A and B are shown apart, each in its own frame.
Chain A
Amino acid sequence: GQQVMQIPQYQHVQEGEDFTTYCNSSTTLSNIQWYKQRPGGHPVFLIQLVKSGEVKKQKRLTFQFGEAKKNSSLHITATQTTDVGTYFCAGPWTYKYIFGTGTRLKVLA
């Protein structure tokens, strides 16, 4: 079956440093979604990428979909304490989504 792997599992950064998480799928994806879960909260949709090589930006967040549509990345520039949480990627698979294991980000002030 389809697998979605994320690295790293954890990342601690100083406030102001950059952060990147990577998502890799065992199969080609029609699209990929990214979610953020704050500590104690529920996952919240951030963005969906559909096209090969697509790059989308949301303020300090940059999302990229690989040319082969099997990998994706989320880059945060100049992290802030509000960026703390776990970031999940998710790939569609027959009416449902397979979520990656997530990257937990801690930002040290």
Chain B
Amino acid sequence: NAGVTQTPKFRVLKTGQSMTLLCAQDMNHEYMYWYRQDPGMGLRLIHYSVGEGTTAKGEVPDGYNVSRLKKQNFLLGLESAAPSQTSVYFCASGLAGADTQYFGPGTRLTVL
């Protein structure tokens, strides 16, 4: 099992560009999450999904969109990147809402 994988690992964008981060899990988990982590700060939830075809907003959803068309994939989109979105993005998955979360290795995004 690969667990949770994220692509790409690193990316540099210019302000206004768009991109999609891909998260994939092979553990048949229902729940998937996108977090951002800024230097010296904790994990802040951007969006999450409780099952295929569902999405919901977390603490900091503005400027991001998500889709969960397949159970194993959770996509995070930035339509018009801003320097404030420079961060490390982590995807996580879990069997249920109150279950262990398994994190991917992260995507380091820099917006110039």
Which residues from chain A sit less than 8 Å from chain B, CB to CB? 6, 30-31, 33, 35, 41-45, 48, 88, 90, 92, 94-102, 104
Contacts and interface: CB of A to CB of B under 8 A. Distances in A.
Nearest to A46: B100
25 contacts: A30-B98, A41-B105, A42-B90, A42-B103, A43-B43, A43-B101, A43-B103, A45-B102, A88-B42, A88-B43, A90-B101, A92-B97, A92-B98, A95-B31, A95-B50, A95-B56, A96-B45, A96-B48, A96-B97, A97-B33, A97-B101, A98-B45, A99-B35, A101-B42, A102-B42
Interface in B31-61: 31, 33, 35, 40-45, 48, 50, 56, 58-59
Nearest to A102: B42
B64 to A, nearest CB: 15
B97 A42 contact: no
Contacts of B102: 45
Nearest to B56: A95
Contacts of A33: 100-101
Given A42-B105, A42-B106, A43-B90, A95 B42 contact: no
Contacts of B59: 98
Interface string B47-90: 01010000010110000000000000000000000000000001
Lowest 5 A-B CB distances belong to which pairs? Answer: A95-B97, A42-B103, A99-B43, A101-B42, A45-B100
Nearest to B44: A99
B102 to A, nearest CB: 7
Contacts of B98: 30-31, 92
B43 A42 contact: no
Contacts of B31: 95
A48 B100 contact: yes
A104 to B, nearest CB: 8
A56 B106 CA distance: 29
